Amino acid sequence: MSTESEWITGAFVLGGVLVGGVITVGTGWLSERRTLKREARVGAQLLRRELQTAARSISTGVKNKTWGPTRSLATKAWDDYQPALSVALKPADWIVVASAIAYIRDHTLPMLELEAPGWRMAVVPLSDEFAEGLRPLWDDCRKAFVALHRASQAPSSFRDLGSLEAQLGEEATISRPSPHRHTQARGPIVLRTIREKIKQW
């Protein structure tokens, strides 16, 4: 009789340990998710601000065909908050944001260094071709800005950057197709573009 009683007691103890372990793990997981979501909100707000600054720099670059020290394509918040944003963003939104950041870093910034190497010290002119080539980047920044809206919990009035044409006072056109940059292999494109630029020198 005592053996059966000991077995039942042991089963209850083991069950209690298992339930306690599940509760502890579950609580820790939920706590971590909450922390990541809070971080994602902060990261989304900061990255939206950086993208807004980048978009403003792009519109000025397109309009004036110049680039200088006050212009910025910084995306530091992406490095600091990428894990949290990966939890908060939907997969489609993640691709949009990651694509915009990658195009800024892997294409635009390297090409800017070739096009206007002294821009950090003074305002320097851009070629018409390069200035016009910045236009699609506005669309990338705009789409990423919208994609980050839900995670940032910003008011709806700050959901969209608007069109580049509106910023420049131009008539809206529908002739420029919106690029799907995440389908491009950036490495070979960047290297080929740099080689072509060097050959022109």
Calpha distance 85→73 (Å, rounded): 19
Rg over alpha carbons for the chain, rounded to the nearest Å, is 25
Reported as a single tens digit per residue, the pLDDT across 70-124 is 999 999 999 999 999 998 999 999 999 999 999 999 999 999 999 999 999 999 9
Residue whose structure tokens are 């206007």: 116
Partners of residue 126 on adjacent β-strands: none
Domain ranges of the chain: 2-200
Partners of residue 145 on adjacent β-strands: none
Calpha distance 54→69 (Å, rounded): 13
Going from the first residue of the chain to its last (201 residues), give the mean pLDDT of each consecutive group of 10, the final group possibly shorter: 65 66 61 76 95 96 96 96 92 95 96 94 95 95 94 88 89 51 45 54 55
- Least Cα distance to 104 among 128, 70, 73 occurs for 73
pTM score over 0.85: no
